[in-house]
Amino acid sequence: MTMTMNRIRALARSAAIGTLVMLCCQSLHSQHWVNPNFECHRLDLRDLGYPEVNQVPANSSAITSLLVAASGKIYGGTTGEEAYLFLYDSAINKVKHLGKIKGQHGIHHALVQDEGFIYAGTGLNVFRQLELTANFPNARDSVSDALWLDIRKQYASYAGGHLYRYDPVDERVATPTTFATGDDYKQVAMPNDFCPVEDLGAPVASNGIYALAVDARAHTIYGISYPDGHLFAYNIPQKQVRDLGEIDHRVVFHGPERDWRSLPRALFVDESGKVYTSGDEGFLVYYDPAEDKVRSTGLKVPGEYYPVQGYVGHPVVECFAAGEQHLVYGGSSDGHLFSFNTATRTLTDLGKPRASRRLRALTVGKNGRVYMMAGERFEPCRLFSFDPKGGGFRDLGVMAVDRSPYYSWRGQQFDSMVTGLDGTIYIGESERRSHLFVYLP
């Protein structure tokens, strides 16, 4: 009897150990999908605040703007039900939000810095679901015309996106005196706190701010409005705005977002102060402050152009990133990477890393490689790199962080990325619940 019980116990122990080993093996096997394309320990993420305490709320946390400040801090803006401003400080290795901007819904590709101040441009939530009409006008392009009326309807009663100025001096930090006296230094903003920003007004009435860039030498901010596609200039010392007119005179829906009007989502200012973006018929255009005119380079943004009867549409610039002297890299809505030399006025199509459309964001690393996020909104984005010296793309895979059993997360959508002063690449997730991803090349 004793020998039988001992044997039963031994078999039970063996079964338990076998089950544990099997579960461990399954767990290890299940983690293989995370990312076999590059070393996963080089990828991590940060919550937008302290979970369950002051984290930027879900539905308001999609990161649609990132900026590297002169201090080295990373500033970000969100889009959703409410727009929040936040920063990442490598000294504390945390993200803290600075409060929401009262009455605003999005900061879309619209963060710049001049003389220490942070400027943010706001607009409506670009990810909101568009209410479509069932009544089509009696016109040749009835679908496009109806879609344009639906878009305009949302902006009919909209006063316009505002330009705001934030002073980083408001980022108070703890000191030994603070801890000794218990003074309230308001280091941590709560979700319902408002960001202490100065309202500089709405540059274009009934339009949101779609993209911003700054000419730091001229202390002038340039922007593109949505949905009318006006280029505007804001003189910072004079606090005056000028509407420079439409950048694209024809309303088209080239996609890939079928309910967004095709307008450029990026601007680039070169060494001479010229402001580049895309315009009519997909041409790369520039505003020359000396001439006070918008001119075409005669070069088209790489993408799909359909020479068929009755089709009207063209790709737009999604993103820009400065490379070596006189060189800028751009990404198109059709998913092409290109380079443009501002001195020689030459444009080179460097190819398309992925079959699907859109280069959502890109940045140039300290190693000289170009990093980009590719993919549409119905599929997971993938990170790619391009080596200008050797040529060709490298697929770095999906954005999946595995720090189990502590935390793990797989990001799907991304709309912004920048390279920090130390070479770290920061990537903004743009989902219902989003994080700031940190990648070490």
Domain ranges of the chain: 43-439
CA distances from 161 to 110, 122, 237, 355 (A): 11, 5, 21, 35
Under 8 Å between Cβ of 101 and 120? yes
> How much is the pLDDT for 15?
52
> How much is the pLDDT for 265?
97
> How much is the pLDDT for 133?
81
The residue-averaged pLDDT of 128-145 equals 78
344 phi, psi to nearest 5 deg:
-95, -10
The residue-averaged pLDDT of 269-296 equals 97
The residue-averaged pLDDT of 244-252 equals 95
The residue-averaged pLDDT of 138-142 equals 67
Under 8 Å between Cβ of 335 and 354? yes
3-state helix/strand/coil string of the chain: CHHHHHHHHHHHHHHHHHHHHHHHHHHHHHHHHCCCCCCHHHEEEECCCCCCCCCCCCCCCEEEEEEECCCCCEEEEEECCCCEEEEEECCCCEEEEEEECCCCCECCCCEEEECCEEEEECECCCCCCCCCCCCCCCCCCHHHHHHHHHHHHHHCCCCCCCEEEECHHHCCCCCHHHHHHCCCCCCCCCCCCECCEEECCCCCCCCEEEEEEEECCCCEEEEEEECCCEEEEEECCCCEEEEEEECCCCCCCCCCCCCCCCCCCCCEECCCCCEEEECHHHEEEEEECCCCEEEEEEEECCCCCCCCCCCCCCCCEEEEEECCCCEEEEEECCCCEEEEECCCCEEEEEECCCCCCCEEEEEECCCCCEEEEECCCCCCCEEEEECCCCCCEEEEECEEEEECCCEEEEECCEEEEEECCCCCEEEEECCCCCCEEEECC
Greater confidence, 248 or 135?
A: 248
> How much is the pLDDT for 143?
79
Label residues 328-352 b or e (16+ Cβ within 10 Å = b): bbbbbbbbbbbbbebeeeebeebeb
- Say whether pLDDT at 58 is over 90: yes
The residue-averaged pLDDT of 287-297 equals 97
User: How far is the C-alpha of 415 from the C-alpha of 192, rounded, in Å?
Assistant: 25
What pLDDT, in 10s, does the model give residues 176-201? 443 344 444 446 788 899 999 999 99
Per-residue confidence band for 169, with pLDDT thresholds at 50, 70 and 90: confident
pTM of the predicted protein model: 0.89
> How much is the pLDDT for 306?
84
What pLDDT, in 10s, does the model give residues 354-408? 999 999 999 999 999 999 999 999 899 999 999 999 878 999 999 999 888 899 9
Q: For residue 175, give every residue at least 6 positions away whose Cβ sits within 8 Å of its Cβ, in sequence order, or none.
A: none
The residue-averaged pLDDT of 93-109 equals 96
User: How far is the C-alpha of 74 from the C-alpha of 291, rounded, in Å?
Assistant: 35
Specify the fold of 43-439: Methylamine Dehydrogenase; Chain H (2.130.10)
- Say whether pLDDT at 20 is over 70: no
